Amino acid sequence: MQSYKSILKETSILYSNEEIHKGIKNIAEEINQAIQGEFLYVLTVMNGALFFSAHLIPLLNYKIYQDYIHATRYGEKIHGGLVKWIKEPTDVIRDQNVLIIDDILDEGITLVEIIHQCKAIGARNVFYAVLFDKLLDREKIIKPTFSALNVPNKFVFGFGLDYKGFGRNLSDLHVIN
Ligand code: IMP
Ligand code: MG
C-alpha cells in the first residue's frame, strides 16, 4: 500500500488556505446580501462540509439554527437520486429559509435528493452553498446558489474533503497530479 507521504508528493496545491479563506469571506458577503429575512436554517452536509461550515457560519448575519445532514450514495454506479440517509433533515425547517452547506458539487446527484427532501418537508426556500464547484464537460442537473471556488474535473482533497478517508485536516486543497 502506498504511504500517505508518498501520496502527498504526487499532489499539487490547487488553492492555498489563504485563498480558500478569501473565497469563504466572499461567499459569506454574497449570502448576506442575497438571502432576506431574520432567520436562517443551516444544514451542514457531513462530513466534507464540516470545515467549510465552521468558517462560513460565523460570517453570516442571521439568527441561525444549525444542524447537520448526512447522505451517501448507494455505491458508485447507481444514478437517479438513490441516496441512503444516515441523518435526514427534520421538520424544524418547515416554512423556513434553508441554506445547505456542502463541500463540493460534482454531478449533483446527492444534492438533488437533499433538496427534494427539504422541499418535501415544506421548507420555504432552499439555497445551496458549495465551497468548490467541479467543472465538468457537461451540463449539471443542478447549479449551486452560491459557490466559492471552481476546481477542474480532477480528484481534490484537503480542507474537509477526503482521499480514501484521510486528508480532511490538510489546510490547503490538494489535487492529484
Ligand atoms: P455528487 O452526488 O456527484 O454531486 O457527489 C458529491 C459528493 O461526492 C461530494 O459532496 C463529495 O463528498 C464527493 N466528491 C466529489 N468529488 C470529490 C473530490 O474531488 N474529492 C473528494 N470528494 C469528492
Ligand atoms: Mg459530500
* CATH for the stretch 7-176: 3.40.50.2020
- Which residue has 485563498 as its cell numbers? 19
Distance between CA atoms of residues 67 and 58, nearest Å: 14
Q: How far is the CA of 104 from the centre of ligand 1 (A)?
A: 6
Domain ranges (residues) in the chain: 7-176
- Angstrom distances, CA of residue 11 to CA of 103, 106, 150, 173: 19, 20, 18, 10
pLDDT digits (tens, 9 = 90+) for 68-98: 999 987 655 444 557 889 999 999 999 999 9
Average pLDDT of 138-167?
95
Regarding the beta carbon of 159 and ligand 1, being less than 6 Å apart is answered no
- Angstrom distances, CA of residue 128 to CA of 2, 38, 145: 36, 18, 5
| pLDDT of residue 45 exceeding 90 | yes
Per-residue confidence at 109, pLDDT binned at 50, 70, 90? confident
Q: What is the pLDDT of residue 84?
A: 86
pTM recorded for the entire structure: 0.94
Q: Which ligand is closest in space to the CA of residue 70?
A: 2
